[in-house]
Homo-oligomer: A and B are copies of this chain.
């Protein structure tokens, strides 16, 4: 043993309780003793042992923040939002990338049960029976960033999510208003919940404006720059006519810009382009991108705030919807 409260007690000749009182400021300790104790503590470079506190007090002041991919620009603002709120409240954020793998999600929920952290915010592409059950059974405070319909009152988790359908409606209507007649969509994988929600918004907007919908205008681009490039290239080379294009994210939109540049297609003159996420990419492109802001910062911020409420014992279920906004720039002017 070294540099513990016991050592300081031994050196100063006071009891461990007195030393603890002096160090923590809780409870009375005479000025004289306090001074001596603080001096010795400083000399020994005393540091509390965080594991001892965690064991004794039952909290770690740490929060797990799980995201599918730590290197995806989409999450940057969300990370910022989460960390700002937690830091302000004296919590440390532990980032944990799940690689979009269910097994990693399950593993991390396990960790939570081991009192590794006090709570968790989890972003996942796929909230299913398995991970939701694990969260539920962990009985630890958790916030998930998706809509989840099966929530029960005694559940330990809250959720906050952004309305993808509405985001897509905004994008589609914007292009319609700009006079586009043939609007293609480069969307994510058709099995993903998000993709379905977005396509709903696309169809709703078309219907609302009395425009016909053509399934062949829905392309699968997988959120990926290279894939977007190839998919759209094929589409155009088939001789398809388009004057509006909605792309699943800014990075994929960059792939589109690259193809159009090479193919001599002018944006926004020939095709008006809208993408999703409103990340920094949207600003550094040529032309700059019109993009649907998915409120990532607020999602992170509110997720952290809801979690803090849970930790403070208020256990009313929260479920928040955020409405996206459209940021118009050169690519659709």
Contacts and interface: CB of A to CB of B under 8 A. Distances in A.
Contacts of A268: none
Contacts of A110: 47
Contact of A70 (B49, B95, B255): B95
A261 interface: yes
B115 A49 contact: yes
Interface residues of A, number: 41
Interface of A: 45, 47-52, 54-55, 60, 70-71, 73, 76, 79-80, 83, 92, 94-97, 110-111, 113-116, 137, 225, 251, 254-255, 257-258, 261-262, 280, 283-284, 286
Contacts of A47: 110, 113-115
Contacts of A54: 51, 54-55
Contacts of A51: 51-52, 54-55, 60, 115
Contacts of A71: 73, 76, 79-80
A264 B70 CA distance: 37
**Chain copies in the assembled complex:** 2
Nearest 8 pairs between A and B by C-beta? A51-B54, A71-B76, A51-B55, A95-B95, A47-B113, A50-B114, A47-B114, A50-B116
A151 B52 CA distance: 33
Nearest to A96: B92
Contact of A48 (B83, B114, B262): B114
Given A80-B71, A254-B284, A55 B45 contact: no
A210 B165 CA distance: 63
A70 B251 CA distance: 19
A284 B261 contact: no
Contacts of A50: 111, 114-116
